[in-house]
Amino acid sequence: MKIHHIVLTALSAAMLMSPVQAQSGSGKGQKAEQKQRDHDIARQAVLRREVLPLPRILKLAGTYQPGDVIEIELKNKDGVILYDVDVLVSTGEVRDLKIDARTGKLLQNQPKGR
């Protein structure tokens, strides 16, 4: 499986029960700071074994849906922390996989946009 582009958006501090304070700022500097905080939150969640690491999720995604991962995000949906994985399949279709971030269980595999 080739990985063309990965976007990892971490969860808010409340979702992972990690204290993070909002900082004031503007423009690109504020976005860069937020991305760094999100990255740190996600990394800490992996270290605490609250979520599976990205390489493990990528391997699972390849078994669930052969193709090329084109985007991946870490999200909280109704209290379930999950990886939202977009996979480009050989037919040109993009599949939307939802994988439980704690267990690696496939929750959904459907065409993107449905």
Q: Report CA dihedral (42, 47, 50, 54) to the nearest 10 degrees.
A: 60
- What is the reported pLDDT for 23? 43
Distance CA 29, CA 63 (A): 38
Give the residue carrying structure tokens 């993009």.
94
At 2, is the secondary structure helix, strand, or coil?
coil
- What is the reported pLDDT for 72? 94
- Specify the amino acid at residue 72: I
Give the residue carrying structure tokens 């499986």.
1
- In 74-84, which positions are buried (b, 16+ CB within 10 angstroms) versus exposed (e)? beeeeeebbbb
- What is the reported pLDDT for 26? 60
Distance CA 22, CA 102 (A): 26
Report residue 98's pLDDT band, with 50, 70 and 90 as the boundaries: very high
pLDDT tens digits, 7-66? 444 333 334 333 333 444 467 888 888 888 888 888 888 999 999 999 999 999 999 999
